[in-house]
């Protein structure tokens, strides 16, 4: 398990250690309670913050965060955000990771399947709405999965920078 690796790193270094979290559960572990148990083990072993797998519906992250807080987790939980680029890529990534796609987003991407620019704009709009809600909900940080797309960073980076005064980020 990852908790064993974290323990080994903690014993032999002063590195800041982050770990992965799965708001919709890990694809290979259908038991969400067991999945959270393993996350608590990572934290107990020395993980200082958690970066989540991407999610497209904030309710999954917010429920997961609230449950972890009720269970005593106090480390920063950083929301992983991946802008949908088009229907095919979004469907593929979601299936690979066990992430649900909101119906309205799916329908908009399908409708614009043959228009790459419209699809990208739909994805950016979706993520901008995610950012806004997450900031209102007091998210402790956002990790933007840009996938080496400069256009993603150029479009969304300034929004995150402007919001940086409204979120607390861990200084490790």
Residues 124 and 156 sit within 8 Å (Cβ to Cβ) = yes
pTM: 0.86
Range of the domain at 131: 2-165
Has residue 115 got a pLDDT over 80?
A: yes
Residues 10 and 43 sit within 8 Å (Cβ to Cβ) = no
Residue 149 lies in a domain: yes
Q: Residue 77 contacts by C-beta under 8 Å, 6 or more apart in sequence?
A: 21, 49, 50, 52, 65, 68, 139, 140, 141
Residue 33 lies in a domain: yes
Please give the structure tokens belonging to residue 145: 């999965």
Has residue 170 got a pLDDT over 60?
A: no
Residue 172 lies in a domain: no
Residues 100 and 60 sit within 8 Å (Cβ to Cβ) = yes
Residues 56 and 99 sit within 8 Å (Cβ to Cβ) = yes
**pLDDT tens-digit readout, 20-77:** 999 999 999 889 999 999 999 999 999 999 999 999 999 999 999 999 999 999 999 9
**pLDDT tens-digit readout, 148-164:** 777 787 888 777 776 65
CATH number at residue 146: 3.20.20.220
Domain count, the chain: 1
Residue 170 lies in a domain: no
Beta bridge partners of 21: 52
Measured distance CA(82)–CA(86) in Å, rounded: 12
Residue 107 lies in a domain: yes
Q: What is the CA radius of gyration of the chain?
A: 17
């Amino acid at each position: 398990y990852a908790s064993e690796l974290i323990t080994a790193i903690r014993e032999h270094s002063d590195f800041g250690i982050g770990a992965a979290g799965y708001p919709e559960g890990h694809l290979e572990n259908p038991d969400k309670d067991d999945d959270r148990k393993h996350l608590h083990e990572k934290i107990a072993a020395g993980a200082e913050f958690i970066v989540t797998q991407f999610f497209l519906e904030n309710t999954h992250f917010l429920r997961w965060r609230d449950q972890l807080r009720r269970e005593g987790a106090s480390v920063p939980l950083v929301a992983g955000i991946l802008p949908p680029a088009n229907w095919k890529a979004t469907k593929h990534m979601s299936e690979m990771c066990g992430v649900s796609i909101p119906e309205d987003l799916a329908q908009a991407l399908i409708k614009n399947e043959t228009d790459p620019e419209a699809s990208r704009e739909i994805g950016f709009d979706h993520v901008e709405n995610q950012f806004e809600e997450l900031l209102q909900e007091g998210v402790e940080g956002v990790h933007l999965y840009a996938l080496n797309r400069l256009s993603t960073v150029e479009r969304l980076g300034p929004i995150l920078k402007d919001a940086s005064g409204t979120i607390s980020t861990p200084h490790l």
